[in-house]
Amino acid sequence: MILSAGTRKLILSIPFARETANLYVNGSNTLFYKKLNKVMHYSERIAELRGAKLGKRCFIVGSGPSLTIDQLEAIKDEDCFGANRIYKMFTKTNWRPKYYVIQDKYDSTVAIYENLDVEHLFVSDFYWKEHGMRNSRAICYHINRTLRQTSDLPFSEDCSKFVQAASTVTYTMIQLACYMGYKEIYLIGMDHTYANVTNDKGVIIKKSNIKSHAFEDEQPNEVVANISYMEEAYRTAKKYCESHGITIYNATNGGALEIFSRCDFTSICNLL
């Protein structure tokens, strides 16, 4: 069921509503994925990617307003992850992500996703259950949600079993990148700035003169970011990567994400 931002806010104002909703989502998604996977064997396809890129580097491309076409052109031959509506940049560049991730069930542009021509198309059961997917390249992955916002956030070491969700698809892409064996992960377009932000209690704060994405949002009020939860996820990812010999660099031009070490995108390009 697709709910408006206002309805989600109302639900979250009810005591234990988030915990109850997430418990229900986890249960229904588990049953859905078990049934789908029994026929399509998606977990086996994901398992084939484990360690396949051992020691290599990749780029995780966000859709923040700092992202430019020149940046995308500079990394068009690199292994890249992209997500959700990054396809809106395709008409302006030859760049395409090797790995495309669709997670947000509130993104209803199904027809476009069903015709995406990318090497690997990862679609969460959260999205698939709501909209379905007929793209032959699609691989459904199972996501797990914590019952409430927590600093003790799981980080999946086996994405063939589940991927941990945490208010940002970037966390999913980092887990997948680590699972595949990438040792250097560069983030670009991760401005970490949004026009509408919320806390875990559903209180929404609107900020003026802030653009959330590099492209225009048809329904900008539906884009509501839980900044604190995102940052918990990023800190968990950083801790995991540091303990496993993986480095995440933030090569975004500006922005507000300071959890990862900064590096200059131009300097990286000179080494490509």
Domains in the chain, CATH or no CATH each? 5-269 (3.90.1480)
Asked which of 2-6, 163-167, 229-233 is least confident by mean pLDDT, the reply is 2-6
Q: Is 213 in a helix, a strand, or coil?
A: coil
The 10s digit of each residue's pLDDT in 31-52 is: 999 999 999 999 999 999 999 9
Between residues 9 and 86, the one the model is more confident about:
86
pLDDT recorded at residue 237: 98
**Which residues have CB under 8 Å from 247's CB, separation 6+?**
183, 184, 185, 241, 261
Burial group, residue 94, by CB count within 10 angstroms (0-12, 13-18, 19+): exposed
Mean pLDDT throughout 13-42?
Answer: 90
**Which residues have CB under 8 Å from 206's CB, separation 6+?**
195, 196
Mean pLDDT throughout 57-85?
Answer: 96
- 10-14, 231-235, 266-270: which is most confident: 231-235
Task: Name the helix (H) or strand (E) containing 177.
Answer: helix 169-180
Tell me the average pLDDT of the chain. Answer: 90
pLDDT band at 7 (very low <50, low <70, confident <90, very high): low
| Other CB atoms within 10 Å distance of the CB of residue 237 | 26
Q: Pick from 239, 183, 188, 232: which is nearest to 56 by CA?
A: 183
pLDDT recorded at residue 122: 98
pLDDT recorded at residue 155: 98
Between residues 209 and 36, the one the model is more confident about:
36
| Other CB atoms within 10 Å distance of the CB of residue 222 | 16
d(CA 45, CA 139): 8
Q: Is the pLDDT assigned to residue 75 strictly greater than 60?
A: yes
d(CA 128, CA 97): 20
d(CA 217, CA 84): 12
The 10s digit of each residue's pLDDT in 113-148 is: 999 999 999 999 999 999 999 999 999 999 999 988
pLDDT band at 247 (very low <50, low <70, confident <90, very high): very high
pLDDT recorded at residue 214: 74
d(CA 266, CA 217): 28
pLDDT more than 90, % of the chain: 71
pLDDT recorded at residue 181: 98
Two tokens, residue 74: 């500079």
Between residues 203 and 235, the one the model is more confident about:
235
pLDDT recorded at residue 194: 85
The DSSP code sequence of 26-92 is HHHHHHHHHHHHHHH-HHHHHHTTTTTTTT-EEEEE---TT--HHHHHHTTTS-EEEEGGGGGGGGG
Between residues 150 and 32, the one the model is more confident about:
32
Q: Is the pLDDT assigned to residue 8 strictly greater than 60?
A: no
Between residues 205 and 112, the one the model is more confident about:
112
Two tokens, residue 200: 């875990």
Between residues 194 and 217, the one the model is more confident about:
194
